[in-house]
Structure 1
Amino acid sequence: MRCATIVCSALLTMVVCGALRGEDFRIDTEVFIGSEKKPVIETLTIFADGDIFDFLLTKPAEITVFNPSHGKLTLLNIEKKQRAVITTEELLDAAISVQTEALKSKNPVFVAAAKPGFQVQTENFEENNNKLTRLKFESKVIQYNVIGEAPRHPNAARDFRYFADWYARLNSVRAGNLPAGARLELNEALFKQGLLPTRIERIIPAGSYGRQIEVHSKHLVNWRLSFDDRRRIEDATTDLVNFELVTFEQYCRPATPGQAVAGK
């Protein structure tokens, strides 16, 4: 099973690498808890020249650089001026270990996040003259409600899936976060329909944690990069060279708060 997963991921990476050399674009993301009006997390994700730069704008500031052609992710801690590198193969192994342990646990939320067995419902509708798709992912423990829209550039859905899959795996191996299985299923469903998300809501009903937990995210796509976007990329590229190199384990210890971007 593990070998098959690695092969499938490697094939996905090879397919996506070509797509990531398509049109450049950016996605602004805000994450909210419950009915709160102020986002707890804000990020900017820039797809440019075959690489992906994900900027965590809320503290603690962090940049994650995805380099598909070299099969690696680099994390940059802005405050500590440290960087850590993990290959996609290493990250896949770690994420699979997290998922395996979750399935052995007695925590229903972690089990469902690892292997949700979603029932998926899809509905097309129009809003403000925009054609949208509503996807509902239902299980006994975790539910997702997603609004998706066809992107201007078809390859963007594939690019986003690559980013979202690896981001989910990266989050899963950081302390306190859920396994990536549920989010991987969601990403696959969006990709198969050629969609980018505009809103993602995750609901853990009351009973699993004693109270209902709702987290939702809003995603705004811009199909043109600004001067500031290019400058951010240049600064991050400089940090890739100048920051102190530490191991991934050292970088993540102690766990950085605010990294569980549940709706991203």
Structure 2
Amino acid sequence: MSENRKAAITGHPVIHSRSPLVHGYWLKKHGIDGEYGRLDVPPGEAETFYRNFSASGLIGANITVPHKETAAAACDWLDDAAKTMGAANTIWLDEDGRLCGANTDWLGFLGNLDQLAPGWDVEPGTAVVLGAGGAARAVVFALLSRNFKAVHIVNRTIEKAQKIAGEFGSKTIAHGWDKLGELLGKADLLVNTTSLGMTGKQPLEIDLSPLPGTALVTDAVYAPLETDLLKQAAARGNPTVDGLGMLLHQAVPAFERWFSVRPQVDDELRGLIVKDLGGGS
């Protein structure tokens, strides 16, 4: 590639984002003349920034909180996932200068499980999703794309869960936290999308005793890499998958879009991020 192409992670704050490590690894591995940096966009400037994205000097960007909805609203074209979720985490300029947006968070979720728990969706049954934010929306979209029969959304504020369930149709059912024990008893998959259990946040305190021993447990949180939920699940023999791969796999289609090479999520990349998280080599 002859010209230097620049992309970045945008949001507020972005100082702790690991996306530059991920994309930087792939740029170096494929010998691409490109850059990927961090660009903090204050909330008061976000709408103007994304509407005038062509003036940024970037060929594309990732978007993190709290700007995913703002970026989507600024786009001239959105893929089906971004339309459905009302949020974009990847944007680029097409040949005509139009701002295009996609949501790849759901692909990150699927790519992670496909890689680390192959066959997890051979018999798509019942899933329990904890939380009702943007990550939950992406997970619900992903599970319905793999034909799960029922997706139960559990949230302390039931109205938020009801909003997502109402958008995604009859296979999605909203519940308050008081129903969790009953729901765990029939779950084939348990997904935590809340920030509970994340470093510096309140712990996620749930009783897994009703959960079938065959149920897969996964967490969108990746700092710490092994959350208390995953430790508890592994200790009782459940298969588990950590959340780091969701970050890595959601970046694949963005990199391919900007730099015309489809990268791989390999052990070396995973090791690089684990080391940065303080997990050793």
Relative to the length of structure 2, the TM-score reads: 0.24
Relative to the length of structure 1, the TM-score reads: 0.25
More helix, by proportion:
2
If asked which structure has higher relative contact order (CA below 8 Å, sep 6+), I would say 1
More strand, by proportion:
1
Structure number with larger C-alpha Rg: 2
